[in-house]
Structure 1
Amino acid sequence: MSSLPKKKNLLKLIIPSGGATPQPPVGPALGARGVKSMDFCKQFNERTGHLIPGIPIPTAISIQPDRSFTFEIKTPPTSWLLFRAANVDKGSSAPGKTWIGTVSLKHIYEIAKIKHTDGNLQRIPLESICKSALKALACNVLGIGFIHSEHKKYRIKLCLSFICKL
């Protein structure tokens, strides 16, 4: 037998806030690693109870060799926050050609403030997080436009350099 200590497992899941159940995908993923999924579900639902139910929460679950676990809850994905800001449920059926909603610079700033609370993003300047959110829009994958003023709708790629200077 080797005397090397066993490595801990890291499991990453996106779980709806307040909605962790021992059913797939949570139950089988934890059960395969020897963790009682019901214990995790109770703890997760307690820690996300203050959030609106159904928000997708990226969760990193660290499983130790003795089958105990710790988990870290992160902020919702940027794309989900952009959809909420644009007041739409899902992306465009023809991204890059039709826009299903728009967001403003204020929305981008508020999303960046939310994302800045993530542990791994706290050392990154808020401006860089804003740029990252704008680049998600610039790819035209989401089908969400950007309004710089009340009357003009700009293409993201044309105004990205201007906005990032603000």
Structure 2
Amino acid sequence: MAKEADAKIKLQIPGGQATPAPPVGPALGQHGVNIGQFVTQFNEKTKDSQGMILPVEISVFRDKSFTFIIKSPPAAVLLKKAAGIAKGSSEPNKEKIGKVTKAQIEEIAKIKLQDLNVNKLDMAGKVIEGTAQSMGIKVED
């Protein structure tokens, strides 16, 4: 029989750069998890995604063991990287601060498809386009 999770912890950590400092240490420490073991395992699994913000879902069990699932980076992070901008627009309906192509949207949609609540690539593309629009990024053909 599978172990039942005692707690679920969701964090966003830069790939390959987890440290015992906040937010990782306090979030895991309060559940009695071996922080050093998590940091080592996370950094090993994400060494190819250096610096990219990665959501991680950690399941902590009664015996203080844990498992974790690394999800794809947030769409906003991928869009900022594709558009070459540091942050989104403060007035996205008036001020457009970057541009991405339909091809870039499709690439991001392929990366995000497994984590979105759609099952077709064209629908995932529309979700990513909506995120781009809300950030003040213009989508071009």
Higher Rg = 1
Equivalent in 70, 88, 92 of residue 67 of structure 2 = 70
* Alpha-carbon distance in structure 1 between the residues aligned to 2:4 and 2:57: 19
Alignment partner of 1:124 is 2:124: no
* Alpha-carbon distance in structure 2 between the residues aligned to 1:104 and 1:78: 15
How far the C-alpha of 1:29 sits from its partner, in A, is: 0.3
Equivalent in 96, 100, 104 of residue 103 of structure 1 = 100
Mapping 1:3-152, distance limit 5 Å:
7-51=5-49, 53-116=50-113, 118=114, 120-121=115-116, 124-138=119-133, 140=134, 142-148=135-141
**Where has structure 1 moved over 6 Å in runs of 4 or more?**
none
How far the C-alpha of 1:121 sits from its partner, in A, is: 4.7
Kindly provide the CA deviation profile for residues 135-159 of structure 1, in whole angstroms up to 9, marking residues without a partner as x.
Answer: 2133x3x1111112xxxxxxxxxxx
Q: What is the number of equivalent residue pairs in this alignment?
A: 139
* Alpha-carbon distance in structure 1 between the residues aligned to 2:118 and 2:87: 31
Gaps of 5+ in 1: 149-166
How far the C-alpha of 1:93 sits from its partner, in A, is: 3.2
Q: Is the 8 A contact 2:14 2:53 kept in 1?
A: yes
How far the C-alpha of 1:110 sits from its partner, in A, is: 0.5
Kindly provide the CA deviation profile for residues 58-115 of structure 1, in whole angstroms up to 9, marking residues without a partner as x.
Answer: 0000001100000000110001111111111111233221111011110110001111
* Alpha-carbon distance in structure 1 between the residues aligned to 2:111 and 2:4: 36
Q: With structure 1 as the length reference, what TM-score do the two structures score?
A: 0.78
Considering fraction of residues, name the structure with more helix: 2
Matched residue SS, 2:8: strand
Gaps of 5+ in 2: none
Identity %: 45
CA RMSD in angstroms comes to 1.9
Q: With structure 2 as the length reference, what TM-score do the two structures score?
A: 0.91
